[in-house]
């Protein structure tokens, strides 16, 4: 016998780490763990899934995903479903509609276990099933028609766990011959037989050991014992007196990670088998602790999976999805949020699978299947949490600025000004107070910029502008006064720009452009210079609705307006040049609504427009080149432009975020599935720090990211032909069209098409 049934006790030194953690907890020290924000795409009956309980998931070698439900077997190609069900008159159809096990063996054969219909082998080239059932009088038949699990050992043997014992199929070159099942049944009188008749899980480790999970503990069959007339199973059971034994005898799932470690999911916690000198030593338990937010969320484990980054994912029965970090031994849970359509569809998880591209698929009990990209952690998402006062207090974000102390200043739509100390993870909220003249003047903040003295200038939607002193936390208000011609022209602000002479350029919504010399304001007072549109003066600004002001490297000011086009203002000469859209001129600006102006590292001028996409201005020719959805942009409403260190432009739109390469003119578009706050962003809501980090705000908070950390998925999916038509009529074959190797066409078949 290679192994002893009693497990070795761990060395006392192993407890030192646990004592340290306990002492930290007793001293009140709390270490926050950043929770990656995941976007779950829910796929349910509405999208074509045959039934909402998904207990089994598999991706075959061709790339198709298979979902086992309680009403049919679903084959998913990423676009639609093909549902396979039992047909009473067809002996080659699926034997039973409730699928309980899925497995693809090394030769590419897919095996399907059912609730009460035995085992099925899918023959792809013939598009039919071979059925294997329990026969009372035949001891070489399947031992029971209720299949729990299927796996294959290193020698090619297929193992099938049923409701009445274990079955083995030896490798065969011609499976069309009668299949002989070798049974391993529970015998209460034989201590070396399998410990229980209900065999629910199978796993093969890196040394060839075969592990079986039952309702009465864990069983081990060594390679030397497998296949013998009398195979001796080693049993591992729960012992209430020993915390290093299995946490419960009812085993739901087994998983072997890349390091060869066996993980055991039971109805009472997760277990990790610790091996010493290639022999089982003891079990390390992970149990839900209501006092520990980083413990397992629920003790009933149905599914276990290790992803490509080494994290363990656990599907629980009521506690949602858990991510376990083996390095920190901390759990992070993801649950259904009825208010968030991008959350997990249900908290009862039945199956987990990571496909060839790295996407995680989560099968639920009653919520269909969920698709989530766990690797997309590049876009950090910050939004409001009604249950957490230490969060953003309003989801709609307009203005963003980060100072040198890593403090973010965020202008919101109704929540006032938010100060977010990223190092301390602490929010401070500043709101308007009628009784306090030194408070914020209005709770809708459209723009936040710094001045050269460390103070902030804040443009509001209806409350004019404020100058904020972060040291004394006081606001100085500047508002329109109808009796004072030197006051602010309008209280609705859309843009602020501070030039090198400390002159503040203020774009208003209907009041034109104001200039304010910010030097010595306490002594001289605020005197605003007004510039308005005058239809009779061609040298006036083109509109009183100012969206953006920018000064380029040569000292020229560019003014983007809402509906009036673009102005080029040479202050040294006083000359203003207008650029407006001309439908007859393809080289004119594409839209008169300018949201943002940006000069890149090569001194090219770029314009973000509403409805006209992205514009590039050529100073030499005076011509504009524009890029729209026809060129790959996701939307023609562009809100803000930034440039990364590689020369790529990043801009937000009404349909996601785009990285644009000016050299190749190629676009890479990102949307809410990549972790964006929403597909809808807001005008003027963007900022880039000195470290290169970018910020874009929208209707559901804001995102931050470093552009060089945004990595594209390099997986290239296979191309599969799924349909063939002649003369616009589908051609039926006796097998899947992807398996058809020859097509014969005549000269009459001059119209034909493929679907792939």
pLDDT on residue 713: 72
DSSP 339: T
Phi/psi for 608 (5° steps) reads -95, 125
Measuring CA to CA, which residue among 223, 224, 245, 243 is closest to residue 235? 245
d(C-alpha 120, C-alpha 145), whole Å? 11
pLDDT on residue 19: 32
Please identify every stretch of the chain with a pLDDT value under 70, giving residue numbers as ranges: 1-34, 173-177, 229, 376-377
pLDDT on residue 173: 52
d(C-alpha 337, C-alpha 363), whole Å? 17
Cα 604 to chain centroid distance, Å, stands at 34
pLDDT on residue 393: 95
Question: How is 511-545 classified by DSSP, letter by letter?
Answer: S-EEEEE-TTHHHH---EEEE---TT-TTS-S-SB
pLDDT on residue 170: 87
Q: What six digits make up the tokens of 249?
A: 């005898």
pLDDT on residue 376: 64
**482-515 pLDDT tens trace:** 999 999 999 999 999 999 999 999 999 999 999 9
Measuring CA to CA, which residue among 667, 661, 664 is closest to residue 646? 661
Measuring CA to CA, which residue among 160, 204, 210, 208 is closest to residue 185? 160
pLDDT on residue 729: 87
pLDDT on residue 17: 33
**581-611 pLDDT tens trace:** 999 999 999 999 999 999 999 999 999 999 9
Q: What six digits make up the tokens of 117?
A: 């219909």
Instruction: Kindly list the distances between the CA atom of residue 201 and the CA atoms of 40, 149, 239, 357, in Å, as whole numbers in the listed order.
Output: 27, 6, 21, 26
d(C-alpha 83, C-alpha 423), whole Å? 52
Do 245 and 236 meet the contact criterion of CB atoms below 8 Å apart?
A: yes
Q: Nearest-5° angle of CA 200, CA 227, CA 57?
A: 35
Q: What six digits make up the tokens of 174?
A: 């011609």
3 state SS of 712: coil
Measuring CA to CA, which residue among 217, 115, 219, 99 is closest to residue 159? 219
Handedness of CA 638, 643, 647, 650 (dihedral sign): negative
Q: What six digits make up the tokens of 390?
A: 């230490």
Q: What six digits make up the tokens of 17?
A: 């780490």
pTM above 0.75, yes or no: yes
Q: What six digits make up the tokens of 751?
A: 């119209």
* Residue 525: exposure state from Cβ atoms within 10 A (0-12, 13-18, ≥19): exposed
* Residue 558: exposure state from Cβ atoms within 10 A (0-12, 13-18, ≥19): buried
């Amino acid at each position: 016998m290679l192994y002893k049934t009693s497990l070795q006790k761990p060395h006392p030194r192993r407890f030192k780490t646990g004592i340290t953690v306990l002492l930290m907890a007793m001293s009140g020290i709390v270490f926050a763990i950043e929770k990656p924000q995941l976007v779950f795409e829910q796929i349910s009956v509405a999208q074509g899934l045959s039934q909402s309980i998904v207990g089994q998931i598999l991706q075959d070698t061709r790339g198709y995903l298979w979902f086992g439900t309680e009403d049919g077997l679903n084959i998913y190609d990423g676009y639609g479903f093909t549902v396979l069900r039992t047909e009473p008159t067809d002996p080659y159809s699926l034997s039973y509609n409730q699928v309980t096990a899925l497995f693809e063996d090394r030769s590419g054969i897919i095996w399907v276990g059912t609730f009460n219909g035995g085992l099925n082998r899918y023959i792809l080239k013939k598009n039919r099933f071979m059925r294997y059932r329990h026969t009372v009088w035949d001891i070489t038949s399947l031992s029971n028609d209720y299949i729990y699990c299927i796996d294959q050992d290193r020698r090619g043997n297929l193992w099938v766990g049923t409701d009445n014992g274990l079955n083995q199929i030896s490798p065969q070159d011609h499976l069309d011959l009668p299949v002989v099942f070798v049974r391993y049944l529970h015998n209460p009188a034989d201590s070396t037989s399998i410990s229980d008749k209900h065999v629910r899980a199978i796993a093969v480790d890196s040394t060839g050991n075969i592990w079986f999970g039952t309702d009465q503990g864990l069983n081990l069959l060594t390679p030397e014992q497998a296949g013998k007339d009398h195979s001796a199973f080693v049993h591992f059971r729960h012992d209430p007196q020993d915390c290093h034994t299995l946490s419960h005898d009812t085993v739901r799932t087994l998983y072997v990670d890349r390091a060869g470690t066996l993980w055991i999911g039971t109805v009472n916690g997760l277990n990790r088998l610790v091996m010493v000198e290639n022999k089982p030593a003891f079990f390390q338990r992970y149990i839900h602790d209501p006092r520990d937010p980083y413990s397992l969320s629920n003790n009933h484990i149905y599914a276990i999976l290790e992803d490509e980054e080494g994290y363990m994912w656990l599907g629980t029965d009521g506690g949602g999805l858990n991510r376990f970090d083996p390095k920190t031994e901390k759990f992070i849970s993801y649950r259904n949020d009825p208010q968030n359509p991008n959350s997990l569809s249900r908290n009862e998880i039945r199956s987990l699978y990571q496909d060839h591209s790295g996407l995680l698929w989560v099968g639920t009990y009653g919520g269909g299947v969920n698709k989530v990209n766990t690797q997309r952690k590049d876009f950090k998402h910050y939004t409001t949490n009604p249950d957490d006062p230490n969060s953003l207090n309003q989801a709609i974000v307009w203005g963003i600025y980060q100072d040198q102390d890593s403090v973010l200043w965020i202008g919101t739509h109704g929540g006032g000004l938010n100060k977010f100390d990223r190092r301390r993870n602490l929010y401070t909220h500043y709101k308007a107070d009628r009784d306090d003249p030194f408070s914020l003047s209005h709770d809708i903040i459209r723009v936040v910029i710094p001045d050269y003295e460390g103070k902030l200038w804040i443009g509001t939607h209806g409350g004019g502008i404020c100058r904020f002193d972060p040291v004394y936390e006081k606001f100085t208000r500047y508002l329109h006064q109808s009796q004072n011609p030197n006051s602010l022209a309008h209280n609705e602000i859309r843009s602020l720009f501070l030039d090198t002479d400390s002159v503040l350029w203020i774009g208003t919504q209907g009041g034109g452009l104001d200039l304010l010399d910010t030097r010595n304001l306490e002594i001289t007072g605020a005197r605003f210079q007004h510039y308005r549109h005058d239809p009779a003066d061609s040298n006036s600004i083109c509109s009183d609705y100012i969206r953006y002001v920018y000064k380029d490297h040569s000292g020229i000011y560019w003014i983007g307006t809402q509906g009036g086009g673009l102005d080029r203002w040479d202050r040294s000469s006083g000359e203003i040049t207008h650029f407006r859209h001309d439908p007859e001129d393809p080289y004119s600006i594409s839209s008169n609504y300018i949201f943002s102006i940006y000069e890149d590292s090569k001194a090219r001028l770029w314009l973000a427009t509403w409805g006209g996409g992205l514009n590039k201005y050529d100073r030499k020719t005076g011509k504009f080149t524009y890029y729209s959805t026809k060129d790959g942009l996701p939307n023609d409403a562009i809100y803000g432009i930034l440039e990364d260190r590689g020369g790529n432009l990043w801009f937000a739109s009404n349909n996601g975020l785009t990285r644009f390469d000016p050299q190749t003119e190629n676009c890479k578009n990102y949307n809410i599935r990549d972790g964006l706050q929403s597909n809808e962003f807001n005008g003027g809501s963007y900022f880039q720090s000195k470290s290169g980090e970018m910020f874009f705000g929208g209707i559901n908070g804001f995102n931050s990211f470093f552009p060089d950390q945004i990595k594209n998925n390099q997986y290239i999916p296979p191309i599969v032909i799924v349909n063939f038509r002649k003369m616009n009529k589908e051609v039926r074959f006796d097998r899947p069209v992807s398996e058809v190797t020859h097509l014969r066409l005549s000269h009459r078949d001059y119209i034909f098409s493929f679907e792939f």
